[in-house]
Amino acid sequence: MERNLKYCLVILNQPLDKCYRHLWKKALFRACADGGANRLYDITEGHRESFLPEFINGDFDSIRPEVREYYTLKGCELISTPDQDHTDFTKCLQVLQKKIEEKGLQVDVIVTLGGLTGRFDQIMASVNTLYQAIHIVPMPTIIIQEESLIYLLQPGKHKLHVDTGLEGNWCGLVPVGQPCNQVTTTGLKWNLTNSVLGFGTLVSTSNTYDGSGIVTVETDHPLLWTMAIKI
Amino acid sequence: MEREFTPLEPLLPAGNLKYCLVILNQPLDKCYRHLWKKALFRACADGGANRLYDITEGHRESFLPEFINGDFDSIRPEVREYYTLKGCELISTPDQDHTDFTKCLQVLQKKIEEKGLQGKHKLHVDTGLEGNWCGLVPVGQPCNQVTTTGLKWNLTNSVLGFGTLVSTSNTYDGSGIVTVETDHPLLWTMAIKI
């Protein structure tokens, strides 16, 4: 992460990757969605006080009683979001946006840990939250877990800098919600030119970079970018 | 048995009528826009593609038919090229004993059967190996008409789509049977007791 990048950290209910320590330190704001608090609690045993989230939201059907008690005692805000029509992750972003506005924070990106492994339906729910996020938070939201990152590209032109040195050797473009009829890229080993991407037609997976350090993507519909992280 | 039918129902602004749209080689009426949106499936018979191509100038990508059939003696080369590039299926039906329209209906019926557009499914979920979650995920494209029974949170002619509604963390009502009716491919996912 760049020294000056301003980001909020969201922790979901999946095994936490080691990078959480580094990400925690430089985050402007940190939140757990329900059972994400269990994950944080367990992995920070021995130095829990250095890892206190600003809030934990959810319907609280996953957070363990002793975990809830601990963070309440330590002054973390526990925000009940019982709405069953949305996931804890979606609701976490809603609460986060309110906090960002209240505190007048300047935020460049929301970094989410978890959400990409485990139950298939919940992985899909995480992807769906990215589709909804554009209506909730004005800044980009990325999800990271293990060696994968996902980021939803809105219709239009995008320039991705892929020269941090942390890039792994695969990437892809996945038209999850609907086909994209006009996709053009540069910087990939297999580029697209006004191509159609769609399930049943073409999905760009196992792609890689051409070495230029920059990938550009132009799309007419939301398109999921996914890439490898060197771990 | 008496058949009931409302001929103008497709033209109504709201409604759940399931219909396919066929475009022939005549000037297209403005109602094509509204009819296009709510159709399950859209096809052009030969020169019908020219009509569509011309009238949709400026936003052609929003009006891509699933297939264009014919002996292709009417479709203009640039029109054929455009729709081929955009992933539409071009189906040659050279038989001179039938019109492009007739042959279009033949192809359409095959598609309706293949794609299970009368897509009714019955899943038996009473093996004892079912875990406690299930879901319906419209990967690839939205489904405009999904109806289920047997789930805790059922759907009735609902829209499923990323950004709209994705059915996750659903579960069963205990009946042991789930039925799903869908107008587009829909991914079923369920927990296995491990």
Option in A121, A175, A177 nearest B169 (CB): A121
Helices A36-43 and A65-73 pack at an angle, to 10 degrees, of 70
Q: Which of A88, A124, A218 to mutate to test the interface with B (most CBs of B within 10 A)?
A: A124
Q: In sequence order, what are the residues at sequence separation of 6 or more whose Cβ sits closer than 8 angstroms to the Cβ of residue A219?
A: A153, A155, A156, A158, A180, A182, A183
- Does the pLDDT value for residue B1 go beyond 90? no
pLDDT band at A61 (very low <50, low <70, confident <90, very high): very high
**Residue range B127-183, pLDDT digits in tens:** 888 999 999 999 999 998 899 999 999 999 999 999 999 999 999 999 999 999 998
Q: B108-134 in b/e burial notation, b at 16+ Cβ within 10 A?
A: beebeeeeebebeeebebeeeebeebb
Q: Could you tell me how many residues make up chain B?
A: 194
**Contact yes or no for B146/B181 (Cβ under 8 A):** yes
**Contact yes or no for A4/A105 (Cβ under 8 A):** no
- Does the pLDDT value for residue B115 go beyond 90? no
Query: In this complex, is the C-beta atom of B156 within 8 Å of any C-beta atom belonging to chain A?
Result: no
- Min Cα separation B38/chain A (Å): 16
pLDDT at A85: 86
Neighbours of B56 (CB within 10 A): 17
Beta bridge partners of B121: B180
Neighbours of A141 (CB within 10 A): 23
State the complex-level ipTM. Answer: 0.88
Query: In this complex, is the C-beta atom of A182 within 8 Å of any C-beta atom belonging to chain B?
Result: yes
DSSP state of A15: P
Beta bridge partners of B22: B43
A123 to chain B: nearest residue by CA? B168
Q: In sequence order, what are the residues at sequence separation of 6 or more whose Cβ sits closer than 8 angstroms to the Cβ of residue B54?
A: none
CA A172 to chain centre: 16
pLDDT band at B2 (very low <50, low <70, confident <90, very high): low
**Contact yes or no for B154/B134 (Cβ under 8 A):** no
pLDDT band at B38 (very low <50, low <70, confident <90, very high): confident
- A119 three-class SS: coil
**Residue range A84-106, pLDDT digits in tens:** 889 999 999 999 999 999 999 99
DSSP letter string, A39-104: HHHHHTTT-GGG---SEEEE-SSSS-HHHHHHHHHTT-EEEE---TTS-HHHHHHHHHHHHHHHTT
Query: In this complex, is the C-beta atom of A121 within 8 Å of any C-beta atom belonging to chain B?
Result: yes
Query: In this complex, is the C-beta atom of A222 within 8 Å of any C-beta atom belonging to chain B?
Result: yes
B84 to chain A: nearest residue by CA? A196
Query: In this complex, is the C-beta atom of B135 within 8 Å of any C-beta atom belonging to chain A?
Result: yes
CB contact under 8 A, A178 and B161: yes
Please work out, in degrees rounded to the nearest 5, the angle formed at the alpha carbon of residue A15 by the alpha carbons of A14 and A16: 105
CA A11 – CA A32 distance, rounded (Å): 5
CB contact under 8 A, B134 and A127: no
**Residue range A153-172, pLDDT digits in tens:** 999 999 999 999 999 999 99
**SS3 readout for chain B:** CCCCCCCCHHHCCCCCCCCEEEECCCCCCCCHHHHHHHCCEEEEECCHHHHHHHHCCCCHHHCCCCEEEECCCCCCHHHHHHHHHCCCEEEECCCCCCCHHHHHHHHHHHHHHHCCCCEEEEEECCCCCEEEEEEEECCCCCEEEEEEECECCCCCCEEEECCCECEEEECECCCCEEEEEECCCCEEEEEECC
Quick one: average pLDDT of B44-48? 96
**Residue range B55-113, pLDDT digits in tens:** 999 999 999 999 999 999 999 999 999 999 999 999 999 988 888 999 999 999 998 87
**Residue range A2-57, pLDDT digits in tens:** 568 999 999 999 999 999 999 999 999 999 999 999 999 999 999 999 999 999 99
Q: What is the mean pLDDT of chain A?
A: 95
- State the burial class of residue A92 (Cβ atoms within 10 Å of its Cβ: 0-12, 13-18, 19+): buried
- A31 three-class SS: strand
